Amino acid sequence: MIRPTAIACLLTLFELVMLGPAAEKPNIIFLMVDDMGYGDLGCYGQKKIKTPNIDRMAEEGLKFTDCYCGSAVCGPTRCVLMTGLHTGHCTRRNNRAPGHKLIPLKRDDLTVATVVQRAGYATGGIGKWGVGNPGTTGTPELHGFDFFYGYLDQVHAHDHYSDHIWRSGRYEQIAGNKGGGQKQYIPDLFGREMIEFVRRNKDRPFFLYLPFTIPHGKYVVPSDEPYSGEPWSQMLKNYAAMITRMDGQAGQLFDLLKQLNLDEKTIVFFCSDNGPNPPFLQTFNSAGGLRGVKGSLYEGGIRTPMIVRWPGKTPAGKTSDFVWGHVDFFATACDIAGIEPPKTDGISVLPTLLGKEQKANEFYYWEFHGRKQQAVRSGEFKGYRRGPGTVLELYDLSKDPAEKNDIAAENPEVVKEIEDYLTTARCESPYWKFDKPDRIAPKNQKPKRKRGKT
C-alpha cells in the first residue's frame, strides 16, 4: 500500500489527468451529521421523528442499506473520511490516545480536500473538524480547505451555544453567547454559512464538507417543536427537534441548488458519523434494530444511513444493498471530479452511484481502541473480535443483520479467511497498539510517570 508521503509525491501526475475544464466539473457536497442512528430517518423506518426533506432526498436519489462509517466514534471516522485510509492505517484511530492525547492529522497526511483543491475546486468545511486542534499539524487550512467555519476540538463541539468559533484559522467571538448567553445557536450559524458558501462559489466547481454537530449532545435546541406535546423526557424531545431542525437546513440547501440552477450539477451525500447513543433506542429505535450503539463495532455502531442524490445521474427512488463506506469517499470524489485517485484503502463507487454494476471491495476493516475491538466485512459475512486473542465471532448479515446468531463454528473456512486477512489488515502505530488494553487517563489528570529512566 502507498503511504500518504508517497501519495503526495505523485500529486502532480494525478493533476494532469483531470477530465475537461474545471468549469464542467460537478459540485460535491458531503453532509454528515453527528451520532444519528441508522433508524432515525423516516426513509429508514423512523415513525416518530419527522425528516421530510431527507426523506424526499431518498425519493429523488439512491438509498443504501449497507453503508459503513469509518469508525464507531467521531474522531477516527473523520480521519478515515478525509484520508481514505481505514482505522488500521490512518493517523487517528480513536478519539484519544493513551494518556488522554489528541492525535492530529500529520502534515503529510493527504486529504480529499487537498486533491480536489489542486484540481481547481473551491473547498469549504463547516461544522466539527475533530482531527486537529489549533496550532497543530491537523488544522483544516493545512489540509486543503480554502474556508472552514466551526469547531476544531471535538469536545468544544458539545457546546451548541459556544461564545467562540473558528473561521479559517482565526478565533471568532459569538457576541450573543458571551458570558453564558444563548442567543445564537451554533448549528443555525452552520446553516447560514452553508448557504453563503454555495452562493459565493456558484460560478465555479466546489467541494463542501458539512460535518454538522446535530444531534450530538449536549441535547439543547432553541425550540422543541414540533414535539412539545409529546409524552417524552425533555432530552428525547430535544433530540428529535434537533434532527428535524437539521432536516430543515437540508431542505434549504436543496432549494438553493434549484434556485441557482446547480441542482443537476451537484452530487450530495448524506450520512451519519457513527451509531446512536443508548438513551434513544427504546423510544425511537434509533439503531434500526441493529445490535450495538456508538462505540461498538457491531452493526449498530458503524452502519450508517447513506443517501446520494444527483438529479439525472443517480437512480431516483431506488434502494441498494451494495456494500461500501466512508473509506471509499476519497476515491469516489476524485472519480466524480475527473481526477485519477491516489491509492487508498477504498475504491471509487461512482459506477454504483450511477446505477451501474461493479464489484465491491473484498474486505472492509475496523479497529476501535479502548475496547480493543476489530471487525471485518467481506461480502455477506461479518467477523467481529472483542479483543486481542479472543475468539472470532461470525455473522451472515444477509440473513442476520442484527447479529444474533454466531455461525463461526459452522463456517471454519470463512473464519480462517478472515483470520488470515487480520494478520495483514493493520500497521503498527506508536499510539495504537493491540498487545494490551489502552489506559485512558481521566480528563485533566496527568499520566503517572514510571520510575527510573524515561
Judge whether 109 and 330 are in contact, CB under 8 Å.
Answer: no
**17-24 average pLDDT score:** 47
> Domains in the chain, ordered, with CATH?
23-361 (3.40.720.10), 365-422 (3.30.1120.10)
**132-154 average pLDDT score:** 98
Judge whether 59 and 317 are in contact, CB under 8 Å.
Answer: yes
**254-263 average pLDDT score:** 98
- On the question of a cis peptide bond just before residue 226, with omega within 30 degrees of 0, the verdict is yes
Q: What is the pLDDT of residue 19?
A: 37
Q: Where does the pLDDT of residue 436 fall: very low under 50, low under 70, confident under 90, or very high at 90 and above?
A: low
Q: What is the pLDDT of residue 271?
A: 98
pTM over 0.85: yes
Closest CA to 152 of 72, 99, 211: 211
Cα–Cα–Cα angle for 199, 132, 182, nearest 5°?
Answer: 60
Instruction: Render pLDDT for 268-283 as a digit per residue (tens, 0 to 9).
Output: 999 999 999 999 999 9
Mean pLDDT of the chain: 91
Q: Strand, helix or coil at 286? A: coil
Q: Burial letters for 248-263: b for 16+ Cβ neighbours within 10 Å, e otherwise? A: ebbbebbebbeeeebb
Single-letter amino acid, residue 13: L
The single-letter DSSP state of residue 97 is B
